[in-house]
Structures are given as structure tokens and as C-alpha cells.
Amino acid sequence: MCSDRIPVAREETAMEYWVSGCICLVFAALSEYAFILFKMIKIKRRRRRARDLAEKYREEERESDDDRENKLFGRCPEEENQNQGAVARGRPVVEGMMSM
């Protein structure tokens, strides 16, 4: 047979070192890719969280601005809703109270 003529080496050969080195380099490249991908996902989450917090802060600012306007001009949101309903029904609205 053909296998009878193949010499048997008892030590590591250059080919074994070469293949081991290639496997290590491929593993290192995949590890680097996974690390960079993980960092990118983490950065996207931070940006999304910051954007959501900024939107929430803007909403709170708008609400507080509306509250300040209502206090400054003496308006009450509930009265405004009632007055709008009265106007829609064709009834006149007296400043500060609704006439029925």
C-alpha cells in the first residue's frame, strides 16, 4: 500500500505550525470583529437612550411652559375644554365662566 512509504515524524513539523498559526489568526480576526460589533451595538443603544431622554425632556419642557402660561394668564385647561364645548354648541361664553 501507499501508506507504507510515508515517513512517520515523531516531532512537530513546519506544516503543523503553519496550520496552527492560521487557525490562531482566523480566531483572532473573528474575535476582533465580534468586539467591534459589540461596541457598535453599545454605542447605538447609548445614542438611542440619549435621544429618548432628550425627547422626554423636551416634552416635559413643553408641558411646564404650558403650565407657566396658564398660571401667568389665569387659564385653566379644564375651563378651556368646557368653554370650547359651549362655543361648539352655539352658546356665548363669558370671560372666566361658562353661561348655561
DSSP string, the chain: --GGGSPPPSS--HHHHHHHHHHHHHHHHHHHHHHHHHHHHHHHHHHHHHHHHHHHHHHHHHHHHHHHHHHHHT--HHHHHHHHHHHHTT--EETTEE--
- At 36-84, the pLDDT tens digits run 999 999 999 999 999 998 888 888 787 777 777 776 666 665 555 555 5
pLDDT given at position 39:
96
pLDDT given at position 44:
94
Where along the chain do its domains lie?
12-98
pTM, rounded to two decimals: 0.46
